[in-house]
A and B are shown apart, each in its own frame.
Chain A
Amino acid sequence: MSAEVTPVRGGRSRRLGRFIEPLVLLTPGFAFYAVLVAAPVLLVSSYAFATRGRFGGVEWTWDLSNFERALEPIYLEVLRSSVVLAGIATLVALLLGYPTAYAITKLPPRWRTVALVLVVVPFWTNFLIRMYAWIVLLNTQGVLNDALVATGLVEDRVSMLYTPAAVVVGFVYAYLPLMILPLYASLEKIDSELLEASANLGASRIRTLWSVMVPLTLPGIITGSILVFVPSLGNFVVPELLGGGKTVMVGNLIRDQFLKAQDWPFGSVLAMVVVVALVVLFTAQAWVTRRVEGEPRHG
């Protein structure tokens, strides 16, 4: 009976529509990614298995020696310090971003919007200009040192620029908004009654943070961390401007292989290492998100 009733409501054409609509909506985006992202990435990846051409470019002879080279201590060390610097930057951004995002959720609704706009405001200015601004700030003759000396906190000027710490500061500053926004989205979803329930059951505020808030905002924490970690890891502008070229990160290495050493296959191998690391990270993030948000409700 019911099978006969359904087509009267236009079952078949609706089912077809349900299939066509997402297809139409997805095609432009997919096409964009396929042509402008996937194809170049595949091309660059394929370089990894080729031999270096004399004047740049590659010669198509099967060659795995570049992978071995990437495992040499000097490159592993660059990779390690890149991960450490990007990791520290991520951690600092998380520690700064979490309370900030939480405070924003506590604002009256109108001020919440204002606060979120303020978080994004730095993006309205060119990235390089903002980095040069940090040079002005951190310089031995810069504003920060002037202030430190004037207040008597230090006697001699401190060299802050061109240190790994300056690079971390640059990363945190550049990508903090990308940490705050997903954290805010996660925190805002938490039912305040869950926090009250936790207190009602005898939990201190710290315990509630650890046992209720952090687990429930884990998707936001991971998303924010990836959004800070990934661009920091591959960044080569900040290490050069604020690190003074003394801090070599994997991003600088890749750029140098392609543009200076003219060794495209090796640069491609290094790029692939970063890409693989990211794929692993994103898979983990998707898995955790699914776990926290759970299967759909029933009943």
Chain B
Amino acid sequence: MMTDALPTVLEAPPRAPLVEVIELSRAFGDVVALDRVSLTIAENEFFALLGPSGCGKTTLLRSIAGFEQPDHGRILLGGDDLLTRPPNRRPVNLMFQSYALFPHMTVAKNVAYGLERERLPKREVTERVQGVLEIVGLTALAKRRPNQLSGGQRQRVALARAIVKRPRLLLLDEPLSALDRKVRAEMQLELKRLQHEVGITFVVVTHDQEEAMSLADRIAVMANGRVQQVAPPVELYQRPANLFVADFVGTSNIVTGHVVDQMFVSKPLGPLPVAVPPGTAAGAAHLVVRPENVRIILPGDSSAGVVDGVVADAQFHGGVWTLAVDVGGFDRPFLVTVPGLAPASRGDRVRLGWDSAALVQDELV
């Protein structure tokens, strides 16, 4: 992986692979949900499957849980073939997007359900249920029914029900999507804390990149049933593997052009600064610049600029300004985020420059 090339990424100790997805394919009629997907998820990793709806992430999750039968490929868990086992015999628990709590059972009964299936002694069931309810802070609500709980509380019951089984792998399907913004932020922290505490491998499916970025050790970005890139959040952001990832993850200024003689050249703007890795083939390419990496060079500033434009709009976002700068020859304005005071206002002529940019050649895998 390219991880070691990036000083900003903390070096993770090598971990044994827990889940191996090998060339997994699944089609529903003409719609290809999974197209030869291969992934390795390490022991104790917090892994995210990120992508727009219909990208295949949920199908992958359901295949691991056993609710979808893939057409081709294999899924190994700790080296064992998972696909030959029925859903109820997989050491994998799934937290459903809808939570899927049993409405006719109390919170405690819901949580105990999985343990009772293991035919554990009654005392152990009670002890473990109490223990896990304590972890998620629901001890006081153990006797309630799901319909007497708030959304956040239900989410925690679903989580407790899944982790009480101490699965080797916990799958979470859009775990926070049903919660409102404030509760969501709290639960994000709690999920992260919990994962450290219980030491279970988490795989979370989400369409929310902020959620994936803040939670996961590594993220697999999916589109059209294929894995576009697997990388830690920072790498994903700084070095998108292709145009889709660059566009999907975070906000980007994207300039389309060509690589000629190890230089990036855009038609209207000429050569633009970007590190072109040695050996890059000549041909169509895209330059990706994050708004926070764009500098504004005001008239009188002697540093060299790259692009000239006119400020079309300036918005204050509490501590940070976002400027939209119209640049001749582009449909989309350049976005620039600047901390502190507004460096320019609407109608000002500015020059833009950047020190850091990424180059992508493929549009999509």
Contacts and interface: CB of A to CB of B under 8 A. Distances in A.
B60 interface: no
Contacts of A211: 113
A207 B88 CA distance: 11
Contact of B87 (A196, A292, A294, A295): A196
B148 A200 contact: no
B113 A203 contact: yes
Interface stretch (B36-44, B92-100, B214-222): B92-100
Contact of B88 (A204, A216, A297): A204
Contacts of A299: 149-151
Contacts of A216: 103-104
Given A202-B114, A203-B88, A203-B113, A197 B147 contact: no
Contact of B102 (A194, A295, A296): A194
A131 to B, nearest CB: 40
Contacts of B93: 200-201
A201 B93 CA distance: 7
Given A193-B100, A196-B67, A216-B104, A201 B147 contact: no
Interface in B144-189: 145, 147-151, 161, 165
Contacts of A198: 102, 113
A196 B96 contact: yes
Contacts of B117: 201-203, 207
Interface string A205-227: 00100011001100000000000
Contacts, number: 70
B168 to A, nearest CB: 13
The size bracket of the interface on A is 20 to 34
A298 interface: yes
A95 interface: no
A270 B102 CA distance: 43
A127 to B, nearest CB: 37
A202 B96 contact: no
B118 interface: yes
Contacts of A203: 88, 113, 117
Given A193-B96, A207-B117, A295-B147, A201 B103 contact: no
Contact of B100 (A196, A207, A295, A298): A196
A297 B149 CA distance: 8
A298 B149 CA distance: 7
Given A207-B117, A216-B104, A298 B148 contact: yes
B169 to A, nearest CB: 12
A292 B161 CA distance: 21
A136 interface: no
A156 B182 CA distance: 79
Interface in A163-205: 191, 193-194, 196-204
Pick the most buried of A201, A215, A294: most chain B CB atoms within 10 A of its CB.
A201
Nearest to A294: B147
Say what secondary structure dominates the interface of chain A.
helix
A295 B149 CA distance: 12
B48 interface: no
B165 A201 contact: yes
Contact of B165 (A202, A295, A296, A297): A202
B87 A199 contact: yes
B65 interface: yes
Contact of B65 (A191, A200, A207, A297): A200
Interface string A256-299: 00000000000000000000000000000000000010111111
B96 A197 contact: yes
A297 B146 CA distance: 9
A48 B352 CA distance: 100
Contacts of B118: 202
Contacts of B151: 299
A299 B152 CA distance: 10
Nearest to A197: B100
Nearest to B119: A202
Contacts of A215: 104
Given A200-B92, A299-B149, A299-B151, 14 more contacts: A191-B100, A193-B96, A194-B102, A196-B67, A196-B94, A198-B102, A200-B93, A201-B93, A201-B113, A201-B165, A215-B104, A216-B103, A294-B104, A295-B145
Interface of B: 65-67, 86-89, 92-94, 96, 98, 100-104, 113-114, 117-118, 145, 147-151, 161, 165
18 contacts: A193-B98, A194-B102, A196-B94, A199-B67, A199-B87, A200-B66, A200-B87, A200-B92, A200-B94, A201-B161, A203-B113, A203-B117, A204-B88, A292-B104, A295-B147, A295-B148, A296-B147, A297-B148
Interface of A: 191, 193-194, 196-204, 207, 211-212, 215-216, 292, 294-299
Q: Which 10 A-B pairs have the closest CB atoms?
A: A201-B114, A202-B117, A197-B100, A299-B150, A193-B100, A199-B87, A199-B88, A297-B147, A215-B104, A294-B147
